[in-house]
Amino acid sequence: MARYFRPNTETKTGAFIVKALISVLALYSLYLILLNFICAVSCKAVSYAGYAALALILFAFACFIAYKAEVSPAAFVLAVFVLGFLTKSIPAFLTDIKPVSDFDVFYQYALKLLNGGRSLEDMEYFRTWAYQTGPVIYYAALMKLFGTGLLTLKLANCFFMAGTNVFIYLIARKISNDYTARAVSLLYLLYPAPYFLAPVLTNQHFAACMFLSSIYVLLIERLNWAVKGILAGAVIAVGNTVRPIGIVIIAASIIWEIIEIIRSGKLLKTGSVIMLLLSYLLVSYGCSAAVKHADINSEGLANNFPLWKFVVGLNYEAKGQFSYEDEYEIYRIQDFNKRNKAAEQVIKQRLSVGIKKLAGLMNAKQIAMWAGSDTLSWGFYQQIDGQLVPSEEVKKIEPIILKSEKMYYIFIFILMLAGFCRSAWENKINHGVALLSLILLCYFGIHFFIEIQVRYRYFAMTIVFILAAKGCEAVFYSLREYRERYP
């Protein structure tokens, strides 16, 4: 399988395609970095100078620890997992904020399911978006095993967030070396944004861990191709039952397979991606059928209104974010067929506004999602009269935390950009870099058209940190000791 992933010879066409892919992502990363700097300037950039210095200090600290920690990879994995779990547990224990919005729906219906309740489709929400039954079953299963209450679910968050940190290290080792992999895994451990969601009952933590584990499986060269495809597809499907973005990894994997065939100039073992797709479809269908059979939701895990994401994502006035006007005029139409037709008409109308207005919308969406400030609201605000309101203590610390996160965020993107430049300079681009780049490109691409929120960048940021390992190579290569250890 190693020969399949690393062809001894590479065609000119294949090399051009991969370098073009890296170049596109490098340009897009530069665009996002510039957007973030522009936003920082508009918010009095002088006040960010100290936080930029803090980001550099944390980078130096992570690199120093990575270099001095003379422990085996297995010991480092254990250390990162324990540190990840303990540090994420701090906000989980310290906050006592009740779930809000969709998260409260998940929790309440998980309790209902745990107490014998069935037929979630009785609620319009679960009839329309039956795939949201997945998080409900996931939370109910956790409480069945470990006891009811929010703390159980928060600690499960911490467990899978720690797992995500481990897979960042393991995957980074596949595309770079042990030192840079340790550095980026420690950088992610210190990254503020995941802590904002640690106490939140979001479906992102479990899913991100599953998706990263599937990517790691795909990059294990010595694993049998059939086992690799089956295992990775099954894990993606399991993650997809809780957060349905697995199609991004599936699509990227198929494109990756095609590129690998072009790079090698031979139709080699394509069975792995076929097994991946079959496994994904079978497990997805099996999970949906099981939900129906258990009488939890007669709609299974279906998405009965996929057009909604595009309706919202193409809303110029709302800049691709949730719109109450769209909810009242489209979502609340009871008849599924009429609702779909109304959605189709709105989408066509919003796509026909002209290139200039569409370009303006796309730029506004990039600013909102990839250059916008993060928020503490989901996990640290209190709900008062239907509104999320920060306490006086949160008001004091929030600006400091968010400015620190912003500088950290920009710095990691700069590292990733440096990594793309280094990869483009190499004679042959690592196959793992190609896969991760495709996943990131697909993730960026789909959010040009669908609904956006700042918290939706959660999974993408794990890929950004992994790719930043190549940027660390570019930074460290000037050091003699580094060149001697990793020539």
Q: What is the dihedral of CA 75, 77, 82, 83, to 10 degrees?
A: 100
CA-nearest of 291, 59, 88 to 183 is 59
User: Comparing 127 with 81, which gets the higher pLDDT?
Assistant: 81
Q: 389: pLDDT confidence band, cut at 50, 70 and 90? A: confident
Number of domains in the chain: 1
Q: What are 238's two structure tokens? A: 């399991």
For the residues 320-341, what does the mean pLDDT come to?
A: 91
Q: What are 320's two structure tokens? A: 């691709």
Cβ atoms of 152 and 143 within 8 Å: the answer is yes
Q: 138: pLDDT confidence band, cut at 50, 70 and 90? A: very high
Q: 2: pLDDT confidence band, cut at 50, 70 and 90? A: very low
Which amino acid would we find at residue 361? L
Above 80 in pLDDT, residue 340? Answer: yes
- pTM for this prediction: 0.93
For the residues 162-179, what does the mean pLDDT come to?
A: 96
Which residue range(s) make up the domain with 237?
A: 2-485
The predicted pLDDT at position 268 comes to 61
The predicted pLDDT at position 195 comes to 94
Q: In residues, how long is the chain?
A: 487
Q: How many CB atoms neighbour CB 226 within 10 A?
A: 15
Percent of the chain past pLDDT 90, that is, above it, reads 61
The predicted pLDDT at position 1 comes to 33
Residue holding tokens 């998940």?
106
- DSSP alpha helix (H) spans, 43-149: 49-68, 73-94, 101-114, 124-128, 133-146
Cβ atoms of 469 and 180 within 8 Å: the answer is yes
The predicted pLDDT at position 51 comes to 74
The predicted pLDDT at position 5 comes to 42
For the residues 259-274, what does the mean pLDDT come to?
A: 77
Above 90 in pLDDT, residue 271? Answer: no
Which residues are CB-contacts of 62 (< 8 A; sequence separation ≥ 6)? 183, 184, 186, 187, 189, 190
pLDDT tens digits, 203-235: 999 999 999 999 999 999 888 888 999 999 999
CA-nearest of 41, 38, 54 to 400 is 54
Cβ atoms of 169 and 345 within 8 Å: the answer is no
Q: What is the mean pLDDT of the chain?
A: 89
For the residues 451-474, what does the mean pLDDT come to?
A: 95
Q: What is the dihedral of CA 287, 288, 293, 297, to 10 degrees?
A: 130
pLDDT tens digits, 289-327: 999 999 999 899 999 999 999 999 999 999 999 989 999
The predicted pLDDT at position 269 comes to 59
User: Comparing 426 with 452, which gets the higher pLDDT?
Assistant: 452
pLDDT tens digits, 31-53: 999 999 888 777 655 466 777 78
Distances (CA, A) of 360 to 316, 347, 353, 398: 9, 16, 11, 30
The predicted pLDDT at position 7 comes to 47
The predicted pLDDT at position 4 comes to 39
Q: 382: pLDDT confidence band, cut at 50, 70 and 90? A: confident
